[in-house]
Amino acid sequence: MDGCVFCKIVAKEIPADIVKETENFIVFKDLHPKADIHLLIVPKTHYNDIHTISDNEWEEIRDIAIHLGKEFKLNGFRLVNNAGKAAAVNHLHVHFLGEVDQEREI
């Protein structure tokens, strides 16, 4: 989608600190981290938000998150998704936040 910063990252037009890439997703470090490990799991296909992504793609997000948790040897992590006007970028993405305390507000 024209003007979408995440589409430009997917197309490698904008640099990002990429930590993982699959056929359908790209995972990179958040520029403004809210946790020691703060990654964005972003589909390569532009979806505005949760309303248009398929169940298979949600399953892949789950699989990527579990893989990241194991890769970073985390005791726990959070997944956060903002939809509609709550999202800062109008391209579906899931925040992966590693090693945050259960009481910590994000």
Catalytic residues: 93
The torsion region of residue 82 among left (phi > 0), alpha (psi -120 to 50) and beta comes to: beta
CA-wise closest residue to 14 among 23, 6, 25: 6
Rg (CA), the chain: 13
Please check whether residue 25 is in contact with residue 60, taking contact to mean a CB–CB distance below 8 angstroms. yes
The separation between CA 95 and the C-alpha centre of its own chain, rounded to angstroms, equals 5
